[in-house]
Amino acid sequence: MVHCGKALYNNLLWSNWSPAALSKLVIIGNSFRGIEERLLSRILERDYSYIAKVLKGVEEVALPSHPRYLDTFNDTSVHWFPLDKLQQLSPEVWDFMEEPMYRDCEDLEIIRKGEEATAKS
């Protein structure tokens, strides 16, 4: 998922939102830690709540950078979700499973269902 928008990562997490499912998931893509560092915490929690909630349950290792592609793949990491770390998160984390809506999201990088039809008319 290299260079995908934050909403796609958030949706992927939401669609696999359980310790059992996430523990089987590996993501190669933009660094979650980098996302956390670049966004205000209130924006991260409001717009990308599944990323925010799983930060304490994810392991992340940055891929080595290549001098020829420093500007292209400089933020790429491998992410995995150890079951024991996920089980240490509070039960309330797993209770919230609402579909992300992105109503107030200013930098949304996806087209949501229904918006495509509106954009064409």
DSSP notation for 63-80: PPP-GGGTTTSTTEEEEE
Q: Is 10 helix (H, G, I), strand (E, B) or coil?
A: helix
Band the pLDDT of 85: cuts 50, 70, 90.
very high
Using CB atoms within 10 Å of the CB of residue 29, give its burial: 0 to 12 exposed, 13 to 18 middle, 19+ buried: middle
In whole angstroms, what is the distance from residue 76 CA to residue 65 CA? 8
In whole angstroms, what is the distance from residue 112 CA to residue 121 CA? 15
In whole angstroms, what is the distance from residue 112 CA to residue 24 CA? 27
Q: What is the pLDDT of residue 111?
A: 67
SS3 content of the chain, % helix, strand, coil (to 5): 45, 10, 40
Band the pLDDT of 83: cuts 50, 70, 90.
very high
Q: What is the pLDDT of residue 22?
A: 98
Q: What is the pLDDT of residues 21-79, one digit of tens each?
A: 999 999 999 999 999 999 999 999 999 999 999 999 999 999 887 777 777 777 899 99
Place of tokens 């925010």: 52
Predicted TM-score (pTM) of the model is 0.85
